[in-house]
Structure 1
Amino acid sequence: MDGTLVDTESIHKEIYRELLKEHDKILTDDLFNSISGMANDNTWDIIAKETKLNIPKKILQKEFWKRAYERVGNCELMPGVGKLLLHLHSNNIPMAIASSTTQHMYARKSASHTELFKVFHHVVCGGSDPAVVENKPNPQIFIVCMDRFEDKPKPCDCLIFEDVLNGVTAAIKAGSQCVAIPPKQALKEDFKLATLILNSLEEFKPEQFALPKYN
Structure 2
Amino acid sequence: MIKTVIFDMDGVIVDTEPVHRYAYYQQFSELNIDVSEEMYTSFTGLSTRNTFQTLKGFFPVIEHEVEDLIQRKRNIFNDAFDTKQDLYLLEGVEDLIKDLYANGMQLILASSASKVTIERVFTRFNLHQYFSHVVSGEDFPQSKPNPAIFIHAASLSIAPKEECIIIEDSTNGVKAAKGAGIYCVGYRSANSNLQDLSEADLVVSHFNELNAQKISQLKP
Scaled by the length of structure 1, what TM-score is found?
0.84
| Residue in structure 2 matching 1:121, options 118, 121, 132 | 132
Cα drift, residue 166 of structure 1: 1.0
Report percent identity of matched pairs: 27
Cα drift, residue 11 of structure 1: 1.1
Larger RCO (CA within 8 A; separation ≥ 6) = 2
Cα deviation digits, residues 31-71 of structure 1 (max 9, x gap): 22221112211111112333454231333212100011122
Partner secondary structure for residue 58 of structure 2: helix
Structure 2 residue 148 is matched with structure 1 residue 137: no
Structure-2 residue corresponding to 1:90? 102
Structure-2 residue corresponding to 1:178? 184
For 2:114 and 2:69, the matched residues in 1 are separated by: 16
Q: Which runs of 5+ in 1 are unaligned?
A: none
Structure 2 residue 173 is matched with structure 1 residue 167: yes
Deviates more, 1:160-169 or 1:178-187: 178-187
Deviates more, 1:79-88 or 1:27-36: 27-36
Partner secondary structure for residue 134 of structure 2: strand
Q: Which runs of 5+ in 2 are unaligned?
A: 1-8
Q: RMSD value over aligned CA atoms?
A: 2.3
Scaled by the length of structure 2, what TM-score is found?
0.83
Listed as ranges, the matches of 1:1-215 within 5 Å are 1-56=9-64, 57-73=66-82, 75-114=87-126, 116-127=127-138, 129=139, 132-149=140-157, 151=158, 153-184=159-190, 186-187=192-193, 190-204=196-210, 206-211=212-217
Whichever residue aligns with residue 120 of structure 1, its letter is F
Cα deviation digits, residues 107-133 of structure 1 (max 9, x gap): 11222112x331111111121x3xx34
